[in-house]
Amino acid sequence: MNHSPEKRWQTILVLVLSALGILYFLLQAFGIGVYWFISLFDTQTGTLGNVSNGLLVWASILSALLLVPTLWLSINQLRGQPVPTWLDGHKPWIKWSILASVWIWPIVIVLGWFISGEPGLAVFILGPVNILVAVIPVVWAYFLAQRKLAAGSIARKWRIFGFSLTITPILIIITEAIVLILIGLLLLLLISVLGSIFPTFGQTISDFADQLAYIQANGVSQDELNAILAHLW
């Protein structure tokens, strides 16, 4: 199977991105997993913290596994091999699995409710249960949205999925960072302008910043905090 230079370049890009995504998620799972394992023996780490760490580990492993088909398809295309038909989401067994999940989902919710009351089990099992509860409705929405749409190629679907999984979170993080920086700059500009127009406002902000620094360094009781807020307003 011959590809044009443009399509070959796209395939190589998808292969590199999916491979980097798998590596990133596996390293993330390993790092959080080590911390999770250590925290299991730390008496200062509560059950909630251990459950959260376990959830992050399982979510990272799942994300890495979901990128494997994209990597596999890219390698097959570069080698001129056909796309595996079992990756097609329109196979009958997929539909039966979706119908079965309608009954499985409430069972998983009830199972998670029981597991949450057992800290020993929750630390290890509640993570996968939470992922199932969150993922199954997403799968429903995905297949319902595709019911009346023209089916594209299997490779294209998995490419879009893999690109969204690896690139979208990074773009969201970068966008959030830019927005926070812009908001911070606007607040600084607004405070500077108001401080120059109303000297008492600038002095109030300066006093409040000093009090916050004091609280951070020494801590404060509830009565002292109420007094500070009353003085501020």
Per-residue pLDDT of the chain (233 residues), as tens digits, is 455 555 677 788 878 888 888 898 899 899 988 988 888 887 676 777 788 888 888 888 888 888 888 888 888 888 877 776 666 666 677 778 878 888 888 898 888 888 877 777 778 888 888 878 877 887 777 677 666 656 566 777 777 766 666 666 667 778 888 988 999 899 888 877 877 777 776 677 777 777 667 666 666 555 655 665 565 55
**23 with 128, same domain?**
yes
- Whole-angstrom distance, CA of residue 127 vs CA of residue 134: 11
The answer to whether position 171 is within a domain reads no
- Whole-angstrom distance, CA of residue 35 vs CA of residue 6: 43
**62 with 105, same domain?**
yes
**83 with 132, same domain?**
yes
Whether the CB-CB separation of 128 and 59 falls below 8 Å is answered with: no
Distances (CA, A) of 44 to 47, 48, 121: 10, 11, 19
Domain count, the chain: 2
- Whole-angstrom distance, CA of residue 18 vs CA of residue 67: 6
- Whole-angstrom distance, CA of residue 199 vs CA of residue 213: 21
pLDDT given for residue 202 in this prediction:
67
The answer to whether position 215 is within a domain reads yes
**40 with 141, same domain?**
yes
Last residue of a domain, one of 141, 164, 187: 164
- Whole-angstrom distance, CA of residue 225 vs CA of residue 206: 17
Q: What is the DSSP secondary structure assignment for residue 198, as one 8-state letter?
A: -
Q: What values do phi and psi take at 26, rounded to 5?
A: -70, -40
Whether the CB-CB separation of 205 and 197 falls below 8 Å is answered with: no
- Whole-angstrom distance, CA of residue 151 vs CA of residue 99: 21
**207 with 116, same domain?**
no
**206 with 146, same domain?**
no
The answer to whether position 101 is within a domain reads yes
Sequence letter at residue 116: S
The answer to whether position 175 is within a domain reads no
The answer to whether position 113 is within a domain reads yes
Supply the pTM of this predicted model.
0.63
pLDDT given for residue 11 in this prediction:
80
**207 with 156, same domain?**
no
pLDDT given for residue 30 in this prediction:
93
**75 with 148, same domain?**
yes
**125 with 32, same domain?**
yes
Q: Which structural domain, as residue segments, surrounds residue 205?
A: 198-233
